[in-house]
Structure 1
Amino acid sequence: MNIRLHRRTALALGLAACATAFAPLASAQSVADIKKKGEITIGMLVDFPPYGTTDAKNQPDGYDADVAKLLAKDLGVKANIVPVTGPNRIPFLLTNKVDLLIASLAVTPERAKQVDFSVPYAAATIVLYGSSKVEMKSPADLKGKRVGVARASTQDVSLTAVAPEGTEIRRFDDDASAMQALMSGQVDAIGCSTTVAAQIAKRAGSNFENKFNLRQQVMGIAMRPGQPELKKTLDEFVERNKKNGELNKLYQKWLGTDFPALPNS
């Protein structure tokens, strides 16, 4: 081998070694791995009450937090809940920063290409909620209006799908920012869940109202693709706790209603 070829070979081997060293962790993960670790790291939104919020000690709280703790208890491990945002929750999962997402993540065909979902463990209705002084009875009425949404959220996708040309869609980092934009008059309406709309109604009374529904969504626990054993375990966890009433108790606690009838998909 001549010196030049030897150098090229050495360089290639060195680059390959570096690539291996800085590659993300292997995506495959078994239930046994989680139990051996003694902890499961779960990504969760904390700006989507009552599903995700924080308590008086600024710790993750809400329906999703309670589901995460119930899952950890079921597995016999500690729950390590990591706050995520709408835009970064799937990247956090795919880069192994978290083991799972219990993050109010709606099951959509687009997301199903990136992650696998458990059977639904929750549901939410997405609405257009806006100023009672501005008439918006259908998507056609959005032309010329300023409408806010949380960036990369289901409400963003739902609104974008129906908004006519001429709608000014303003995207914010989270629901809290979109809600503040509505209440301060920066936008005429926002796409949000009925739970967020209820929060606005408590603060602003009759100044705002539900205009029309954008989507009914179901939410699943998300995991990296190629983990059939983990998916089976999560599906069984959801079904078991639907049947034994535990999820209904949590729904009553946080949403004040019974657990909804959901499709098993």
Structure 2
Amino acid sequence: MNRRPFLHAMLGAAATTLALLCTPAQAQDALSQVMQTKKIKIAVPTDYPPYGFVGLDLQPQGLDIEVAKLIANKLGVSVELVPVTSANRIPYLQTGQVQLVISTLGKNPDRMKVIDFTHAYSPFFQAVYAPKSLAIKSFADLGGKTIAVAKGAMEEQELVKSGPASMVFKRYEDQAASTAAFVAGQTQVIATSVSNAGLMMQKNPQLGAEFKLLIKDSPNFIGVAKGQDALRAKVNDILLAARKDGTLDKLAQQWLGRPAGDLPLSE
């Protein structure tokens, strides 16, 4: 009897069993690793104001940066901020290059198949912006106002539902063109995303532009690798406490011009 194939089969089965036994333990190591090394690696944006961008001192700043520092502080560890793009932020998490992703990450069914999410930590929204000197307290106040929008943009579609028929839309080819028109004083108001507004206000402080009205909200969540339940639970505890004591509202007010509000919790 040739025992070699049988031996190979037995060794293969043993290796498979060992791998299966080790996988859950390895998957739960992230929080332990963070606490042992006293450092957490967090993916953040550095080209997406007001959530994450490089300041005049060449250091990352923004809402996502502050939330990353908050979590590290509450864990009692140092933080290594890892700049990412929209395309590589999830792969960085899946390959273990970071333990968390705090980078304007929305939750959807496709992403939920490959990573897990904490509670929401901040809003992401489309809104109406105008100079501080222009009184706009409600959608009715947009009557007769000239509003810069990108052609076919969701902002215009939503405003038509809420605002008066006397709104005057000035339609431009894209978001960059509508922003340039508002900055040049060709319109009184602009309807755009908070990220675009953040960049606009950062580059043009002389405008005195500010958040006026919320058009539509889409919250941001923190990404955690699949199986990292202990780390996810710990981060959720930190976010709940920050929500209760008003920290999340203060950060959102500072960077977005409005409180975080009633953010959704993870399942």
Which band: TM-score by shorter chain? 0.5 to 0.7
Please give the secondary structure, in 2, of the residue aligned with 1:257.
coil
Q: Distance in 1 between matches of 2:226 and 2:96?
A: 12
Q: Distance in 2 between matches of 1:118 and 1:232?
A: 8
Between 1:242-251 and 1:193-202, the stretch displaced more is 193-202
Deviation, structure 1 residue 192:
6.3
Instruction: Give the aligned partner of residue 174 of structure 1.
Output: none
Instruction: Give the aligned partner of residue 36 of structure 2.
Output: 36
Give me the TM-score of the superposition, normalised by structure 1.
0.63
* Number of corresponding residues: 200
Please give the secondary structure, in 2, of the residue aligned with 1:226.
coil
Deviation, structure 1 residue 128:
11
Matches within 5 A, 1:17-56: 27-56=27-56
Give me the TM-score of the superposition, normalised by structure 2.
0.62
Instruction: Give the aligned partner of residue 261 of structure 1.
Output: 262
Q: Distance in 2 between matches of 1:67 and 1:96?
A: 20
Q: Unaligned stretches of 5+ in structure 2?
A: 20-25, 130-146, 159-171, 182-190, 208-213
Structure with the greater alpha carbon radius of gyration: 2
> Residue 27 of structure 1 contacts residue 96 of structure 1 at CA under 8 Å; is this kept in 2?
no
Matches within 5 A, 1:189-204: 193-197=193-197, 199-200=199-200, 203=204
> Residue 43 of structure 2 contacts residue 100 of structure 2 at CA under 8 Å; is this kept in 1?
yes
- Give a deviation string over 1:237-258, Cα, whole Å, max 9, x none: 1001111122222222222322
Instruction: Give the aligned partner of residue 90 of structure 1.
Output: 90
Matches within 5 A, 1:1-265: 27-126=27-126, 132=148, 136=152, 137-138=156-157, 179=176, 183=180, 193-197=193-197, 199-200=199-200, 203=204, 216-265=217-266
Q: Distance in 2 between matches of 1:248 and 1:133?
A: 28
Q: Unaligned stretches of 5+ in structure 1?
A: 21-25, 140-144, 149-178, 185-190, 206-211
Q: Distance in 2 between matches of 1:38 and 1:198?
A: 33
Deviation, structure 1 residue 113:
1.1
> Residue 44 of structure 1 contacts residue 81 of structure 1 at CA under 8 Å; is this kept in 2?
yes
Matching residue's letter, 1:100: L
Deviation, structure 1 residue 194:
2.4
Deviation, structure 1 residue 28:
3.9
Change (3 A) 1:200 1:30: closer
Change (3 A) 1:260 1:133: closer
Q: Distance in 1 between matches of 2:48 and 2:36?
A: 32
